[in-house]
A and B are shown apart, each in its own frame.
Chain A
Amino acid sequence: MSTRQFGEPIARNADAALLRGEGSFIDDIDLPGALHAAFARSMVARAKIRAIDTSAAESLDGVVKVYTCDNIGALDAPLPLLIPAPDLTHPKTQRPLARDDVFYVGQSIAMVVAVDRYVAEDAVRLIDIDYDPLPVEMDLERAVADDAPRIHPDVPNNTAGRFRVETGDTDAAFAQAEHITRVKIRLERSTAAPLECRAIAARWEAVTGELTVWDGTQATLSVRGGLASLFQIDEDKVRVIAPNVGGGFGQKIMMFHPDEVLVPLASMELGRPVKYIEDRVENFIGASQERTQIHTLEIAATKDGRVIGLKDDFLHDTGAFIPYGIAVAHVSSTSIAGPYRIPNFRVTFRPVYLPMVQVTPYRGCGRPHACYAIERAMDQLADELGLDRFEVRRRNFIGKDEFPYPREGLIFADGLQVIYDSGDYEEALEKLRQAIDVEGFRAEQAAAREEGRYLGLGLGFYVEGTGLGPYEGGHIKIHPITGKVYVNTGLTDQGQGHETVFAQIAAEQTGARVEDVIVVEGDTGAFEWGVATFASRAAVCSGNAIHMAAVKARAQIVEAAANMMECSQEDIELHDGAAWVKGTDRKAMLAEVATATNPLRYAFNEPSKSATQFAPASRHDGPPLAEGRTPGIEATDYYSPPHATWAFGAHAAVIEVDPELCTIEVKRYICIHDCGRMINPTIVDGQVMGGIAQGVGGAFYERCEFDEEGTPLNANFMDFLMPYATEVPNAEIMHSETPTPLNPLGVKGVGEAGTIPVAQVYASAVEDALRPFGIAPIREAPLTPDAIHRMLKQARTS
């Protein structure tokens, strides 16, 4: 083939419109006559509601309706538990509007619908809610005590369930241990903070009985299924569209946030389009968060640093509810051994209710926690045994010849066994070591210390189970008039560049130009089979499905073109938007091929003249559409992965710490990443760099803070320190490409990767930098200037 599309750093199809300000984000969509919703939210973490008085709000000019739990009919019930699990013994989900009780600051109690958002917010302030506050326990470890106040009266110890995963014989491994390393680590609560907050608009058409919902969700098909179920409308009467969505990072996979059911309800009742555009404070108090876990980890090793066993017990803050099941904690538990053989391990964990907004996946989904725990332990093991931090890892890696590497008895978040499919971890670490020039750095570090400057080297290695099932589909069709290639799948895009990488996959097979491939997703009206965008699965699941459909379309094009140009199929090649007879300038444009394969009655243009019933070229015996054939060039296929495919990578950083100001400066940040074959290296780099930036936030800046009563203290961008360009290092990103044998394209997921090891890398580097001060090992993320100050002070006094 003369033009490669797969693997090329092609500029994105979507960019020009977004750059001109012509994107269509939800609040950009003009819905004439639309009403606007705003929510009254709990000001108290845990309370009984004595009374709600909405009369003043209802009588305000411009208010159309005020909803409370008393006038939402059948919706006044706990929302679905999306992912049930047998050991989730005490699942609790939220009601759309609070009835009798509130469980966190920010919980929705009433929804006002008014002529504009200003009036709706005025009315919210006129709603009088009388609370009877109850005691709360905000500390994760104290919340499981027998005498801790219960959030849900029927959930003892605030514990949603007790879980255990095990592989091998952990007790036997510990009995043989020559050295045991113990660490206790803690990650803090954070939030995805997409720059477009959550948003939803709904329009009910009474005449046709159709409900159209524009939802900034990652899961249009799942939302459609849920709405059809909740409102008892046929699924084909519900259309859910996610147009341009301004970032998701997992927060928008959670469904249903209360507005996602209440806005459609209001639209149906009031006969008007209704919009709810979440504001930033609401995104901080009412939208899903993630990250707090406390792990107590022990690793059993031989004297030469080989880890033979691991025990981990952790607490997982799930917030006041657990609608997304144990997904985050489950991924943590099954990722705990990272890239290391560790044949025997046992993980026990408890998701714990705390009076804060629910926890559901945020980029990384439990992997940053597992990575921090095991990698902190590996650093400590190296220190305790007097080994180099690189060397201790090398000794424990799964070797490149040991794949597939199953972990018996471990079921991953896709319900399938954990089997690492391919990789070369040692090579990645060696690349990292060379790139950072460890020996050179040690000399530089020693020289800097002489001058009273403190440099440290940190590293972290991670694996990421990506491309989770169950499946996705791909549909491809060539338009007979324009010859443009239409591609559909059931996913949604929040900036990952699906429209370009899927176009590359389709173009590679069909010979279309990438810019002539139009990808339409995020619309249940365009394709109605599939699941959602999450778990770094788009390229793996939809990418392969589209590839498989495109292979079928290619065969159709080749066959038709050979007929049209009267040559053998072997002589046809596809490129530059046409089928060519090899070695000649004879060609049939894709539009002509698509037209010729579609028997016509009417002629609209030149190509269609030759496809009408009486045109000489289309004359043949039998029915115009031969038996068993379908018109035009069109194909659909589905890809269902046998199990997750495991990407991996290694990061290192050189960080200088100022022990006076307790600030840090990242001198170098290097990432070696492997996601199998890359469809578009530019987009892969963009995903990795964006992931690193989010990891940097979690490593040093971002934490959702609450006071002892459960009131958020920094629910805004002034106080929640999201990194600007001045805080994120200019990371050097390098790749290796170890294809997976699991799917035809050989691709693994990349969306979450960059985020996973960053907190570990910062901790490892700062610890290394401050060794001369004799600080205690770093065990918490984010690591703030405050924390550095505390550690230095502690070291001085002890």
Chain B
Amino acid sequence: MARPTARKELIGQSSDPRVPVSMTVNGERVEREVSPRMLLSDFIRHELRLTGTHVGCEHGVCGCCTVIIDGKAGRSCLAFAVQADGADIRTIESVAAPDGSLHPVQQAFRECHGLQCGYCTPGFVMSIVDYLEDNPDPDLSEDAIREVLSGNLCRCTGYKNIVAAFRRSAELMRGSR
């Protein structure tokens, strides 16, 4: 390599305007000034450094970026951070207990080998947590479960073990009620 040269001053910054945004994320109030076009997914990942929320397509199909927004599972790649101003957001980092012990849905995924690479997994977990909180006695037929899961793509597992994990989640959550 060439001999060392003086480090270049990086000139300029993005000329995007900055607007204040504040929301509650995993029970904690956060306030930032961000570009109005910053996606909610990027806000969560890059501004807050909560990197468990993944981005798989940025057009709302794959479900990797699913978080719970004001009590409903939603795609964080399809919203701007500023649209979530004042919202209450839950991400995958809030699901396990503070000591790290797994939530029943996470426990079920582990028991049933419901994940391989783990990239889509936080999105599935958030979708299922949201669904089972709203539907504590879900229809556990194969078709009904697959319909619930049909908002998230997985390329590794072939879904069979995710279906099993859903069933086991419902069982564990019922047991813990």
- Chain A contact residues, CB within 8 Å of chain B: 11-12, 14-16, 18-25, 27-28, 30, 35, 61-64, 114-116, 118-119, 192-197, 206, 209, 231-233, 244-247, 249, 268, 270-272, 279-280, 494-497, 682-683, 685-686, 689-694, 716-718, 722, 724-726, 728, 730-731, 754
Contact = CB atoms under 8 A, between A and B. Distances in A.
- Most chain A beta carbons < 10 A, residue from B1, B122, B158: B158
Given A30-B49, A689-B158, A271 B8 contact: yes
Given A118-B14, A280-B56, A686-B113, 12 more contacts: A19-B122, A20-B92, A27-B51, A119-B14, A194-B119, A195-B156, A246-B120, A494-B117, A495-B156, A686-B158, A693-B159, A725-B145
B161 interface: yes
26 contacts: A11-B111, A15-B109, A16-B100, A19-B118, A21-B93, A24-B51, A25-B51, A35-B10, A61-B15, A62-B13, A118-B16, A195-B120, A196-B56, A246-B54, A247-B116, A247-B119, A268-B1, A270-B8, A279-B58, A685-B113, A686-B156, A686-B158, A690-B116, A716-B59, A724-B153, A726-B146
Contacts of B147: 726
B161 A686 contact: yes
Given A64-B10, A118-B37, A725-B159, A195 B142 contact: no
B129 to A, nearest CB: 11
A690 B109 contact: no
B106 interface: yes
Contacts of A16: 100, 102, 106, 110
A731 B122 CA distance: 25
Per CB-CB distance, the 9 closest pairs between chain A and chain B, nearest first, are: A21-B52, A495-B117, A246-B119, A18-B118, A693-B158, A495-B116, A21-B92, A28-B51, A689-B158
Given A27-B45, A231-B1, A717-B61, A19 B117 contact: no
A718 B58 CA distance: 11
B91 A21 contact: yes
A546 B115 CA distance: 25
A725 B61 contact: no
A23 to B, nearest CB: 5
B152 to A, nearest CB: 8
Given A19-B125, A21-B50, A686-B116, A717 B59 contact: yes
Contacts of B91: 21
Interface string B64-100: 1000000000000000000000000001110110001
Interface in B140-157: 142, 145-147, 149-157
B33 to A, nearest CB: 14
B57 interface: yes
B108 to A, nearest CB: 10
A10 to B, nearest CB: 10
A271 B149 contact: no
B35 interface: yes
A271 B57 contact: no
A118 B146 CA distance: 36
A796 B158 CA distance: 37
Given A247-B117, A495-B116, A693 B106 contact: no
Nearest to A197: B56
B29 interface: no
B162 interface: yes
A197 B102 CA distance: 28
A694 B159 CA distance: 11
Contacts of B158: 686, 689-694, 728, 731, 754
B57 A716 contact: yes
B27 interface: no
Interface of B: 1, 4, 7-8, 10, 12-16, 35, 37-38, 45, 49-59, 61-62, 64, 91-93, 95-96, 100, 102, 106, 109-111, 113, 115-122, 125, 142, 145-147, 149-163
A465 B25 CA distance: 50
A11 B110 contact: yes
A519 B62 CA distance: 30
Contacts of B100: 16, 20
Contact of A21 (B35, B37, B53, B146): B53
A12 B102 contact: no
B89 to A, nearest CB: 13
Nearest to B37: A118
A209 B1 contact: yes
Contacts of B54: 25, 195-196, 246
Contacts of A11: 110-111, 113
Given A20-B92, A246-B117, A195 B12 contact: no
A341 B59 CA distance: 49
Contacts of B93: 20-21
Contact of B102 (A20, A683, A724): A20
Contacts of A694: 155, 158
B44 to A, nearest CB: 11
A247 B155 contact: yes
A602 B147 CA distance: 62
Contacts of A25: 51, 54, 119
Contacts of A271: 7-8
A717 B149 contact: no
Contact of B57 (A28, A30, A280, A494): A280
B122 to A, nearest CB: 5
B106 A495 contact: no
Contacts of B1: 209, 231-233, 268
B153 to A, nearest CB: 6
A224 to B, nearest CB: 16
Contact of B12 (A19, A62, A691, A718): A62
B149 A690 contact: no
- Most chain B beta carbons < 10 A, residue from A197, A244, A246, A270: A246
B14 A116 contact: yes
A682 B119 contact: no
B127 to A, nearest CB: 11
A686 B115 CA distance: 9
A271 B58 CA distance: 30
Given A115-B12, A271-B8, A730-B142, A247 B62 contact: no
Contacts of B106: 16, 19-20
B12 A63 contact: yes
B116 to A, nearest CB: 3
